[in-house]
Amino acid sequence: MVLYFIGLGLSSPEDISVRGLKAVQKCERVYLEAYTSILMAASKEDLEQLYGREVILADRELVESGSEQILENAQNVDVAFLVVGDPFGATTHTDLIIRARELGIPVETIHNASVMNAVGACGLQLYNFGQTVSLVFFMDNWKPSSFYDRIKENRDIGLHTLVLLDIKVKEQSFENMARGRKIYEPPRYMNIETAASQLLEIEDMRQQSAYTRDTPCVSISRLGSPQQKFVAGTLADMAELESGEPLHSLVILGHRTHEMEVEYLLEFAEDKEAFKVAVNKEVEAARLAQIAAAEEEEDDD
């Protein structure tokens, strides 16, 4: 028997592959991972109607702490673990596969589109991307900034950075957690304007010029759905954007932006001339920095 890891794609119930659907329909139990992302145009009931199977929601606690429930008897019956996007979009799923292997449970993966490849729809070439980073909601006393170093590393060599924005599903307040009350906060999904404001806040704190208010960016909203939308502008523009319904991601451009990428992005820029100026400013700054570095190296010799 097999534990299937099945990607659902980005938006609709019908985004599942034919192979994936056939696998789901023969499984004894079907789990839907329900905390790293959501299908924007589908409910649990929609999936159950399409699959002809009960779908069990698997929250973070179940996947990370109760994986034995998912793996129970999977040596003898087929079990499906459904993931929005692609199964390998989160390290949690890798851990579950390792646990299955340790128990001698055969594992089969059925892939699908994810933000990691569908981001190319905005016009930026995938091989020009560096490390992907995640941005979480800031709290009054907790503003993690490890993402900043990864963005700086990418931009130092001219690569784009895909920034994945936080979602909060089935989260408890500190008070309810401390009191042991199973009361959960309403779901929250970070929007573009919050992300841009947080990025600028960390730049103000770190002041290492990983990016600036004038750095060109692309907002990505509802990727893979009929309502998907891209907006090209500066990071300051993004902080004022009304990005609408989730889900959202953000791309920070690198200075190695190809002219074909720029031409494609202009379709999504509200002020095309201003966007071209922002891109050219980045390219020129990188060129001057390279000249200065070369001259400094000559002086050292």
> Which pLDDT does position 258 carry in this prediction?
92
Write out the DSSP string of 242-298.
Answer: ---SSPEEEEEPPTT--HHHHHHHGGGBSSHHHHHHHHHHHHHHHHHHHHHHHHHHH
Q: Which residues contact 8 (CB under 8 A, 6 or more apart)?
A: 15, 16, 20, 39, 82, 83, 84, 85, 112
CA-nearest of 269, 131, 135 to 195 is 135
- Strands across the sheet containing 216-221: 133-135, 161-165, 248-252, 216-221, 229-234
Give 57-60's long-range contacts (Cβ < 8 A, gap of 24+): 57/31, 57/32, 58/31, 58/32, 58/33, 58/34, 59/34, 59/35, 59/169, 59/170, 60/35, 60/92, 60/170
Q: Pick left, alpha or beta for residue 281 (phi over 0 → left; psi -120 to 50 → alpha; otherwise beta).
A: alpha
- What CA–CA distance (Å, rounded) separates 57 from 34? 6
> Which pLDDT does position 26 carry in this prediction?
96
pLDDT in tens, 224-248: 999 999 999 999 999 999 999 999 9
pLDDT in tens, 266-285: 999 999 999 999 999 998 98
CA-nearest of 260, 270, 167, 253 to 211 is 253
> Which pLDDT does position 40 carry in this prediction?
85
> Which pLDDT does position 292 carry in this prediction?
79
CA-nearest of 124, 121, 130, 80 to 100 is 80
- Asked if 94 and 67 count as a contact pair (C-beta separation under 8 A), the reply is no
- What CA–CA distance (Å, rounded) separates 112 from 273? 37
How confident is the chain (301 residues) per 10-residue block, as mean pLDDT?
95 96 97 86 92 91 83 94 90 85 95 95 97 94 95 96 90 63 78 98 96 97 96 98 95 95 97 96 87 75 62
> Which pLDDT does position 130 carry in this prediction?
97
H/E segment holding residue 206? helix 192-206
